[in-house]
Amino acid sequence: MPIVVDIDVMLARRKMSVGELADRVGITPANLAVLKNGRAKAVRFSTLAALCEVLTCQPGDLLRWESEDAKGVVGAGGADETVGAAPGE
């Protein structure tokens, strides 16, 4: 997926553990791990706002877009290539 989550970078900069961040944000450590490891398919704006408040950062410090070309995944033929297309396209 071309969206990369950099929560681990911010945790290291703040010298904070995943458990502490989860407690302060109000989500489970398991759900934070899913987000941190890039396995989440969505994130609520309220969760993103809470992460930014606790980590004193901007959303762009936690999320970034990375071209699939950079990863060598071009033309992989996965189902994700048609996400958002209208039916029949």
Rounded to an integer, the average pLDDT of 23-35 is: 96
Token pair of 11 as six digits: 């945790």
Q: What is the pTM of this model?
A: 0.74
pLDDT at 1: 66
Residue 36's Cβ-count burial label (10 Å; 0-12, 13-18, 19+) is buried
> What pLDDT score was predicted for residue 2?
87
- What per-residue confidence (pLDDT) applies to 71? 60
Confidence band for 21, pLDDT divided at 50, 70 and 90: very high
